[in-house]
Amino acid sequence: MIDPRAYRNALGHFATGVTVITTRDAEDKPVGVTVNSFSSLSLDPPLILWSLAKKSYSLDAFERHPAFAVHVLASDQQSVSDRFARAGTDKFAGIDAGEGFGGVPLLPGCAAVFQCTTEHRYDGGDHVIMVGRVQRFDTAERPPLLFYRGRYATPETEAVPFTSLLRAFAGAAA
C-alpha cells in the first residue's frame, strides 16, 4: 500500500522548472494555471505534454479551447507562480498580457514561451494528460525558476553546455 504523503514527498525529489499555462474559457476570459508537470515529448513532430488535475477549475477551459501557451518562468517570477497556483482569484489582475496563437493570453518576462494547439487529451488517473503541438516559440536569456521538494529554487551556477559536460567526463575517464 502506497502512503500518499510519502509518495508525494518522493516525487518532489525530481527537480523541475515551473510553467504557467494559459488559455481562454467559454466566455473568452483568460485562464491560467501553474504547472510543473510540463515535459518535452517529441522533436518531429514538435510535441510537448503536461497534466492538469481533474478537480482544477480551469479544466473545462483547457478541454474546450483548441490552443494554449506554456510560459517557462524566469527566476524572478516566483510571485507569478504563486498567483497562478491560487484557485478562485482574478489571476490576470494587473498583468499586461499580450495575445498569441488562437487568442491565447501571453505573459511578459518569461524565460521561454511555447504556443501550442491541443493534439491529444488522455486520461491520467486523477489528471488529464494534455499533448500540445508547438506552433510558435520564443526564448529569452533569463535564468529559470526551479521547483524542488516543495520549494522554489534558483540555479546556483551558470548553465554549462551539455557538450562541454560530455568532454569533461571524457577527460576525467582518460
Ligand X SMILES: Cc1cc2nc3c(=O)[nH]c(=O)nc-3n(C[C@H](O)[C@H](O)[C@H](O)COP(=O)(O)O)c2cc1C
Asked whether position 35 contacts ligand X by CB under 6 A, the answer is: yes
The stretch among 50-58, 69-77, 105-113, 163-171 that binds ligand X (CB under 6 A) is: 50-58
For ligand X, give the closer residue by CB, 9 or 168.
9
Cell numbers 500540445 correspond to 132
Does 56 participate in binding ligand X (rule CB under 6 A)?
yes
Burial code of 13-33, b = ≥16 C-beta within 10 A, e = fewer? eeebbbbbbbbbeeeeebbbb
151 near 14, Cβ under 8 Å? Answer: no
> According to CB under 6 A, which one of 22, 36, 77, 115 is a site residue for ligand X?
36
Q: In 3D, which of 69, 53, 19 has the Cα closest to residue 129?
A: 53
SS3 65: coil
CB atoms within 10 A of CB 47: 17
Based on the shown chain and the rule CB under 6 A, indicate whether residue 41 belongs to the binding site for ligand X: no
CB of 3 to ligand X, least distance (A): 21
Nearer to ligand X, 31 or 113 (CB): 31
- Determine if 78 is a binding residue for ligand X (CB under 6 A): no
Which residues lie near ligand X (CB under 6 A)?
18, 33-37, 51-53, 56-58, 81, 85-87, 147
